[in-house]
């Protein structure tokens, strides 16, 4: 979802270390707070961001060092979060978005990351090129359900 009239935007980048997942959640939550979300909406956003960042770190980079980028845009009451890695990409995107599929079973991954993101946000779009990286675009309109 491309926002036409952007009221505010932000960009964040950090090393692909699992210790930065909480940092990413906090920054996105602080950015989203200007929309005055309910606690449930804020929890949904934070959960989706956690899954997206974790996917970028674990599946995008694995044991390699890399950078995770998060862009946020607000237009009206709609929040769009774009999480990008320049890691290994996804070989079979249609398979990867299926519930319970994981490319890291040895790490006891549940394979529910994309399903969780899709469930907690209004929309999710994933673009990936093997050897180039992955971009996950999440959007949520605040106040839609109350």
**CA atoms of 66 and 68, how far apart (whole Å):** 7
Give the residue numbers annotated as catalytic, written as ranges.
51, 55, 109
Q: Are the CB atoms for 90 and 130 separated by under 8 Å?
A: yes
Packing angle between helix 21-32 and helix 39-55, nearest 10 degrees?
140
Beta strand 8-15 with 123-129 is unpaired
Give the CA radius of gyration of the chain.
15
Q: Which residues contact 2 (CB under 8 A, 6 or more apart)?
A: none
């Amino acid at each position: 979802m491309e926002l036409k009239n952007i009221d505010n935007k932000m960009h964040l980048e950090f090393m692909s270390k699992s210790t930065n997942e909480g940092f990413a959640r906090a920054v996105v939550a602080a950015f989203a707070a200007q929309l005055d979300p309910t606690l449930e909406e804020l929890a949904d956003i934070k959960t989706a961001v956690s899954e997206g960042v974790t996917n970028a770190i674990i599946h995008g980079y694995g044991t390699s060092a890399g950078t995770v980028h998060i862009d946020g845009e607000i237009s009206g009451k709609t929040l769009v979060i774009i999480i990008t890695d320049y890691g290994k990409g996804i070989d079979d995107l249609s398979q990867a978005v299926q519930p319970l599929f994981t490319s890291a079973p040895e790490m006891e991954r549940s394979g529910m990351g994309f399903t969780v993101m899709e469930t907690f946000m209004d929309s999710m779009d994933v673009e990936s090129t093997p050897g180039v990286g992955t971009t996950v675009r999440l959007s949520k309109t605040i106040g839609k359900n109350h």
